[in-house]
Every structure is written in C-alpha cells, then in structure tokens.
Amino acid sequence: QSALTQPPSASGSPGQSVTISCTGTSSDVGRYDYVSWYRQYPGKAPNLIIYQVTERPSGVPDRFSGSKSGDTASLTVSGLQPDDEADYYCVSHTGTTNVFGPGTKVTVL
Amino acid sequence: VQLVQPGAEVKKPGESLKISCEGPADTFGTYWIAWVRQRPGKGLEWMGIIHPSDSDTRYSPSFQGQVTISVDKAISTAYLQLNTLKASDTAIYYCARSTFFGVIADHNWGQGTLVTVSS
C-alpha cells in the first residue's frame, strides 16, 4: 500500500494540459526535493520524465514540468499528444528508501 | 547500461526463488541497484536498493523481512530472494540502476522477470 496518493485517472483533449498530483507527508514529499516522475506504457519498463521535483532528463520535451508545494508534488503535461496516454507514477525519497505513488492513468480524449 | 534478468520463472506455492540481475562489470559498483515489483494490472512498488560496493541495503517497510536483496560484486550480479512463494507473489520483478534517491534514468532497467506462482 502506497504512502503517496495520486488520482487514479486524468484526461484531456489533444493540445490541452493535464496536471497530476502526488501527495505525501512532511516525512517524504514535504521534506525532500527528491521527487521523480515516471511514465509507463503497457508492457514496458518505466521512463524517467522528471527528477528532483523540476529537472528534466535530456530528451524529455519541455511540455513536461514538475513542481512542489508543501507535501504535494505535481506533474503537468502541456500540449497533450496521443502518445502521452500512459500510466504516470511519482516516486519520493523517504530518508531511508523510496516509495512509488499508486499511479495515474492519463487518457487523451 | 544493460542489466540482464531471466525472462520468466514458474514456481509452486511454498517454493523459493532467487532472481538474478547481472550488470556491466566496469560500472556495477558505482550505482545502487533497485528492485521494483509490479503485480499484474497494478502499479509499481519500490522493494529496496543495494549498493554493490559494500552491500548497504535499504528495504521498503512493506518488504522488510519478506525478501532478501544481495549482491555478488565479483560477478557483477545482484539478487532478489523470495521465500515461501504465494500466488500473490506473481508479478514482474525489475532490477534497475538507481540513485539512492530513486532516480532511474532510461536504459537502466532490466527487462523484468515475470514470476508466476501457481500450483
């Protein structure tokens, strides 16, 4: 059972934006700037899209952005494209280990 | 980076399994190796991480005492030991090269081992 919470689903039309929240506690998300976001397509390994709350790995388009306020981190996907339809997971450091959120299924309408 | 795992294992309830994860020798000791579970149709679960240089191991609370993560630095291989398997252990188990803070860059995942526990 995840210690982080994410909405189970989110959706938007092509070109729109969608924001996914990842809520933890003052012991994980609120304490550490070590929140990452992963995208996973069915049957594939996850792909890193954001690390350290706001950083994008090279090759990840700037349509993806991350932020944090208090105990909640957020991932925003702007300019939705059909291949953004996937599952998105946050990960937070907890001091001794890391924990995934339960995942959010993003649907592009 | 290429981490090599067996593709699939089939076990009966009550049996044990040790999943291997072999990495490149030249960089194996420089990153943590994480293990991640994904049950069928479910989300990702962080199981724990180990540093090959000194076998420093950190388990997630849900997996502490339930699994054993180990490493053989001499052969650049990490292991995930699952004991007394149950049907609920049926899952894909990924190893990945990670930072201590949970950052796993692309191309640092093993292909995953599908473990099926069935009588």
What's the pLDDT tens digit per position in B26-44?
878 889 999 999 999 999 9
Yes or no, beta carbons of B102 and A34 under 8 Å apart: yes
Tell me the chain B residues in contact with residue A45 when contact means C-beta distances shorter than 8 Å. 94, 96, 109, 111-112
Task: List CB contacts of A58: < 8 A, sequence separation 6 or more.
Answer: none
Residue A100, helix vs strand vs coil: strand
Find, in chain B, the residue whose alpha carbon is nearest to that of A29.
B101
Q: Is A7 exposed, middle or buried (0-12, 13-18, 19+ CB in 10 A)?
A: middle
- Whether residues A97 and B60 touch (CB distance < 8 A) is answered with yes
Contact yes or no for A92 and B43 at CB 8 A? no
pLDDT in tens, A68-102: 999 999 999 999 999 999 999 999 999 999 999 99
Query: Whole-angstrom Cα distance, residue B71 to residue A107?
Result: 40
Distance in Å, alpha carbon of B4 to nearest chain A alpha carbon = 13
| Residues paired with B92 in a beta bridge | B38, B114
